[in-house]
């Protein structure tokens, strides 16, 4: 778990393929408060057959952008 959390922190997103529920895929990105602390996440999930690998970059980019937009409205400013 610790290794996975470090990877998520480095990449700025998390993706799971069936780890919690067989046949379910989810992608998530962090939401930061004004102090830069992760306080929430924004995610999308659905049946794994709808999450084809070719779509992952667009989904990840969209979620990261949405997370940063929400974070900015909460006072977060990237360093």
Q: Tell me what the pLDDT averaged over the chain comes to.
A: 92
CATH superfamily of 2-73: GAF domain (3.30.450.40)
Residue recorded with tokens 């408060």: 33
Distances (CA, A) of 73 to 28, 31, 63: 19, 10, 15
Q: Where are the domains of the chain?
A: 2-73
Distance CA 8, CA 30 (A): 10
Across the range 48-54, mean pLDDT stands at 87
Question: 33: how many CB neighbours lie within 10 A of its CB?
Answer: 13
Higher pLDDT, 1 or 65: 65
pLDDT-derived band at 66, boundaries 50, 70, 90: very high
Q: What pLDDT shows up at residue 19?
A: 86
Q: Residue 20: is its pLDDT beyond 90?
A: no
Residues 1-18 have pLDDT tens digits of 889 889 888 999 999 988
């Amino acid at each position: 778990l610790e290794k996975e959390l470090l990877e998520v922190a480095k990449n700025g997103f998390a993706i799971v393929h069936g780890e919690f529920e067989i046949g379910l895929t989810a992608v998530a990105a962090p939401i930061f408060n004004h102090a830069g602390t992760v306080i929430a996440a924004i995610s999308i999930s659905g049946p794994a057959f709808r999450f084809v690998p070719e779509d992952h970059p667009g989904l990840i980019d969209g979620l990261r952008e949405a997370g940063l937009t929400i974070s900015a409205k909460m006072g977060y400013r990237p360093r």
